Every structure is written in C-alpha cells, then in structure tokens.
Amino acid sequence: MLASVRNLRVYIFNRLSERMNSPYFTESVAVLGTCATETIGEGAVNKGGIRRLRSRMAQGIKSEDDSPNVKAEDLEQSISDAPLRTHAETSADETNCSETVSSCNNSTTKVKGEAVDEQAVLTSPRKPRRGRVKVKYEEEEGAELKRERWEPRDWRTQLSFIREMRSKRDAPVDQMGAEKCYDTEAPPEVRRYQVLISLMLSSQTKDHVTAGAMQRLREHGLSVDAVLTLDDETLGKLIYPVGFWRTKVKYIKQATALIQQEFGGDIPDTVEGLMRLPGVGPKMAHLAMDIAWNQVSGIGVDTHVHRISNRLGWTKKETKTPEETRRALEEWLPRDLWSEINWLLVGFGQQVCLPVAPLCSVCLNQHTCPSAHRSSPNKKLKSSPAKPAINGPDDKLASPTAQVKEEPADASLSQRRKNTAKQEVPGNQLTSEEEKTPSVLKKRSRRKGRAGAQQN
C-alpha cells in the first residue's frame, strides 16, 4: 500500500514538472503573471499557488481512478495562480509587457473550438440575459386601465349633435338660469350669495318662475343682512309661487343665518361646506362651486340630466336617482366636459328630449339613441267606445263613428249631429234605411223578446 502511494506521488510530480516546463505553459504563465502583478502582486500569487500545490501533494490519498481529476485541478490552479518564476524571467517579462499585451489584443484565440477576436470580446459590452418576468411600466398600466374603462357607444357623436341642436341658445335655462339671475354689479360675496339663493329656489320650479322671484328679491335687497331682517311672511310673498315655497322660506333663513355666523357672510368654498347648509344638496353644491367660485368639483345632475343620461345609455346600468347618475357619469366622462354637460342637457331636455312625449322625430340622435321613439310612439286614431243602452248591458247601439262613415260625403254637419243624437237617445224612430242594417234588426228583436217576457 505504501509503495503504491509513493509511486502515485512520483507519477504526479513528474507529470506536473513536464507540464510546467512545456513552452505553452511557460508562455501562458508569463502573460498571466504580468497581468496579475498589476492587481494583487506577483509574490502573493506565487506563494499561494505553491502552498496549495504542496498541501495537495502531501495528502497523497487519491486513487489511480482520481488521478486525471487531480491533474486537471492542479493545471487550472497553476494557470490561475501563476507559479513561482525566476528573477530573470520576471525582469524580461516586465520589459516586454507592452509588446505582449499589444500582441494579445491583436491575436485571436480559440475558445471552445471557435475562433474569437479577443479585442472585440474585451471592448464589447456584456449583454444581459433575457429574463422571463414581464416588466410593466406606468404608461402600459395606464393604457390597460384606459382600455378597461367603460364608455357608452357613440357618445361623442351624440354629444356633437346635442351641441348642434343647442347652438341657438334659446332655451329657458339660457335666459333665466342661475348664472343669469344675480346682480353683476354687486360685490363678489353678494353675487355668490345670490347664485346660491337662485339655486335653492330653482328646485322643482320652472326657470321663469325662479327668475321672477329673484327679480323681486333683488328689488327688495338680496343680501345676507337684508334677508336676515325679513320676516317669514314677507319672504314668502316675495318668492311665491315657487315650488314648496313655505319650506324654502325656512331653509333660506336657516342657511343665511349659518352663513353669517360660521362663514363670515360669504358662502362656503367647498362642496362639504355647502352641503352643510339646509336645503342644499349635491346638485346645488356642484353648480354653486362652478358658477360662484369658478371651480369644477363635480357634475350637477338635475331631473333633465338624470332623464337624458338614462335615455341615451350614458350609464352602465339604469340609475334610479340623480346622485347615482352623477357618480356613473363621472366614472367615464372627461373632466373638461363636467361644467358643460349640465348646461347642454338641461336646455336639450327643455326643448327636445321632453319628459313626456319627447320630440324624437326632430332629434339628430334618433338613429343612435337606444330609447328613440319608445317614449313617443306613433299615435293612432282610436274610435270612441260604444255606449251601453238603458234597457240593459247587452243592448248596445251602433258606434257613432261607424254610422257617420256610412253617410255620403256631402252630408251637412247638422244632419250628422241629428243622426248621432237619434242614436244616443233610445226609443227614437229610425228611418227605413237604418232599419235595414243587421245590427239594428238584432237589437229590435231582443227588445221585443224582453218586452213579451215582462208582460207574461
């Protein structure tokens, strides 16, 4: 056993000596040694390589099967660690360092069986490996959200048609709306207060009634201090006949007192502050922010905007209240249209898209509106129902409309009225022509039969 171990040591030492004394190994060690001295120093590399080589040779526990692996490891370690060289070789390498480096840069080496330009490898940037994780940027995420956002079909075309139909600006809201009822020469805080009062009066009231009430209030002095000095009876007479005028008198007095006490005589400049006032809802708050403070905080949805939005299909699902409609519109409608949409739809609802019997036939959106002609179907002439006779529910006279149609076209109006009067009054004598009709003959036979039954 000891002999085999000793022979193995001698074999390994002889093989390493041959490899280290070969010309290829000497040239490679010279080049790598000069590069290593620039970074970590030649002495440290040589000492480390020799120390590891001696420790590996001292172990001597490798078998003959593992000898090729030991030779490969020692060869790689010797090349990377640059073994000890003589002082003469080191000095010669230092003098020829520049020539060696330049020759190495211009030469080509064969790596893994392929010829590669070493200069191109050293100068070209290292390409990162392609990852499998997909990176999403903010622009891509915004584009996906925009694609997922719901929008009604053909809403831009419908909006352009509504603008065209509202181009004349001749609706009642254009002449007597909240933005037309305040005094333009009054101080700013008084103008804002008058805008708020006009919005409070406009609820459940037509525009011309609201404009008349505002005119009377302005003549009497419409300001915070002036309203606080008025009694309820006088204020009621000034705003009558607006809808729910008694309740509005109470709300106006309470809101005015709160404005004087908590807001210094000026209306609040936030939606939350405006909704704290009695009688002020979300619609009035958003419109007051837009008209009085010139700030777009939301869409003012009244009964016209609520009705038309559902008719045009501008809500993802049918909404029941104006507040639901406001939230549905603000989800998809661009913010730069929030201020315009109330003015457009209110006037459109006053002139074309009426609450009852809308004028779909003159509307430019009749081909794209999903509710077109549903609320206003073609009216058909209906004949008046037949009237029952006095003798019993089964005795029915002929329809007056049918009887008139049987008359000649040149019959006078007076003659038609006489014929109708004869049919409506039972017991009148009928003419010979009228007796020939089957319906009259059947009715006469029924009367005779009933009269005979009563006598018996």
pLDDT tens column, 4-29: 777 887 788 777 777 666 665 555 55
3-state SS class at 421: helix
Structure tokens at 412: 């006078």
| Among 283, 380, 396, 436, the one annotated catalytic | 283
CATH classification of 152-170+298-374, choosing from 1.10.1040.10, 3.30.1490.20, 3.40.50.2020, 1.10.1670.10? Answer: 1.10.1670.10
167-198 burial, b for 16+ CB within 10 Å, e for fewer? eeeebbbbebbbeebbeeeeeebbbbbbbbbb
Q: What is the CATH number of domain 182-296?
A: 1.10.340.30
| Cα→Cα distances 101→33, 107, 409, Å | 12, 10, 123
Query: What pTM does this model have?
Result: 0.54
Average pLDDT in the chain: 73
Question: Which residues does residue 116 pair with via DSSP β-bridges, in sequence order?
Answer: 109
pLDDT band per the 50, 70, 90 thresholds, residue 454 = low
Q: What percent of the chain has pLDDT over 70?
A: 53
Per-residue model confidence (pLDDT) at position 451? 56
* Residue 283 annotated to the active site: yes
- Which residue has better confidence, 349 or 405? 349
Give CA–CA dist 123/267, Å, rounded. 72
Closest C-alpha to 280, from 300, 261, 306: 300
Span 97-119, average pLDDT: 45
Flag whether pLDDT at 224 surpasses 80.
yes
Span 228-239, average pLDDT: 95
Q: What are phi and psi of 108, to 5 degrees?
A: -115, 140
The torsion of the CA quartet 275, 278, 280, 285, rounded to 10 degrees, works out to -30
Flag whether pLDDT at 109 surpasses 70.
no
Domain with CATH 1.10.340.30 in the chain: 182-296
Give CA–CA dist 350/308, Å, rounded. 11
